Amino acid sequence: MIRTIIFAVALTLVLAACGEQTPGYPARQAPAGVLTDAAQIAAGRTLFHDKCATCHGHPDEGRSPRADFFQPPASDFSSPAYRTADPAYLFWRIEVGKTVEPYLSRGSVMPSWRGLSDEEIWQLVAYLRARAG
């Protein structure tokens, strides 16, 4: 009996931890070709340079030392993990930034980019995936 309770508590804790790592986000399909099209990736690069590089690092810098100034730090998009990151997740994070949990209560400084068009956000997603090491 005790073992069953301990197991149930452990399972609940593990599930809670997992849930926090992968919050729900809406399924979205990138328009055909956008993620691999050179012109879209180049447009994403320009947007990234203008709006994101101050925190996430200039493309030619790899990663800016400023990234660690934030707590939590600005994500390192030169990491190979972003090559295969779910485009729908990246789209959602760019759209909502720090305005949703758990990022809000962690003290994230990631702005919400709702002001950008869907096309621009997909261009950024394409660039982040192409940029990854």
Shortest reach from residue 77's CB to ligand HEC, in Å: 8
Q: Which of 35, 41, 94, 126 binds ligand HEC (CB under 6 A)?
A: 94
Q: How far is the CA of 107 from the CAs of 16, 66, 74, 77, 93, in angstroms?
A: 20, 16, 12, 20, 15
**Closest distance to ligand HEC from the beta carbon of 65 (Å):** 14
Contacts of 112 (CB under 8 A, 6+ apart): 95, 96, 97, 98, 99
Label residue 101 exposed, middle or buried (CB < 10 Å: 0-12, 13-18, 19+): exposed
70 binds ligand HEC (CB under 6 A): yes
25: contact with ligand HEC by CB under 6 A: no
- CB neighbours (10 Å) of residue 49? 14
Nearer to ligand HEC, 70 or 130 (CB): 70
DSSP for 86-117 reads -HHHHHHHHHHTTSSTTHHHHT------TTS-
Measured from the CB atom, the residue of 8 and 106 that comes closer to ligand HEC is 106
| Cβ nearer to ligand HEC, comparing 40 with 108 | 108
Stretch that binds ligand HEC, among 1-9, 15-23, 34-42, 71-79 (CB under 6 A): 71-79
Give the footprint of ligand HEC on this chain (CB under 6 A): 51-52, 54-56, 70, 72, 74-75, 90, 93-94, 98, 103, 108-111, 113, 124
